[in-house]
Amino acid sequence: MGMRPLFHPSIEDVTVEGILHALSDPVRVAIYADIVAQECSQNCSTFLTVSDKTIPKSTLSQHFRALREAGLIRGEWRGVEMHNTSRCAEIEQRFPGLIRAIVNAHAIQSKHGAQAKRLAAKRSSRRLVKNK
């Protein structure tokens, strides 16, 4: 059974708009930030839980396709598993600082989001105590 070769745009065809569009989805930016952080190749099944949400495999492969078509990752089949690596070095040469800025901003937002959730949980538990 031959696997179809995957489409990867040449680095000259990678656009800022394409990158921003691919990373505008909260799940995709989380997956991508994770790939960038790990830098070793990741197979798709590593991501079945992204930010505590379980994601169906079919949805996951759509996310990977979007990242791949935007030129953010390179995917290759190893047996039946897809391994994904970032194209950071190539993108860094074309758009210096872009990926680092996006990944850093995502990290700040994620940290802020976690703090906001904790505060909201504290507030609602206080309300429950008051209402008794």
pLDDT at 67 over 60: yes
Which has more pLDDT, 118 or 2?
Answer: 118
52 three-class SS: coil
Separation CA 77–CA 69 (nearest Å): 16
Q: Is the pLDDT of residue 132 over 60?
A: no
Q: Please give the Cα distance from 73 to 32 (Å, whole number).
A: 8
pLDDT the model gives residue 21: 96
Quick one: average pLDDT of 82-103? 91
Percent of the chain clearing pLDDT 90 (strictly above): 36
Range of 9-23, 29-43, 49-63, 82-96 with top mean pLDDT: 9-23
Q: 55, 30, 32: which is closest to 109 by C-alpha? A: 30
By the 8 A CB rule, do 20 and 26 touch?
Answer: no
Q: What pLDDT, on the 0 to 100 scale, is given for residue 43?
A: 59
Task: Please say if the pLDDT value at position 53 is more than 80.
Answer: no
Domain segments of the chain: what residues?
11-131
Least confident of 31-35, 70-74, 97-101, 120-124: 120-124
Is the pLDDT assigned to residue 15 strictly greater than 90? yes
According to the CATH classification, is domain 11-131 in 3.30.70.980? no
